[in-house]
Amino acid sequence: MPCFSQINYWKEEGEDETMALYNPIMGQTDQGLAIGLDPHTYYFVNVQVFNTAGNGPKSEDYLEETLRSGESSGHEASSLSKWLSAK
């Protein structure tokens, strides 16, 4: 059964969900990637699954701050990636 997820994300300040960027992810997975994020910025994120039965409901919106430019999270997953993995 074809299935994909979509991560939707937008800045907390000055944007709303109608302006969201999105990243489709093919296949069944428990992780994803949000690209093009600005450093030291708060983003709302939600996830939606699509399959042959149609569009699933969007998850609740989750607010997370990106790292500052030049910072590294090391090998530990951020709370955002932990949240995306749990959805």
Domain enclosing residue 36, as ranges: 3-86
CA 13 to chain centre: 17
Query: How many angstroms separate the most distant Cα atoms in the chain?
Result: 43
Strand partners, 51: 3, 54
* Phi and psi at residue 55, to the nearest 5°: -80, 130
- CATH number for the domain including 31? 2.60.40.10
Give pLDDT tens digits along the chain (87 positions): 568 889 999 999 999 999 999 888 888 777 788 888 899 999 999 999 988 888 899 999 999 999 876 555 543 444 455 455 554
Domain count, the chain: 1
pTM, entire model: 0.71
Structure-block tokens of residue 22: 């999105």
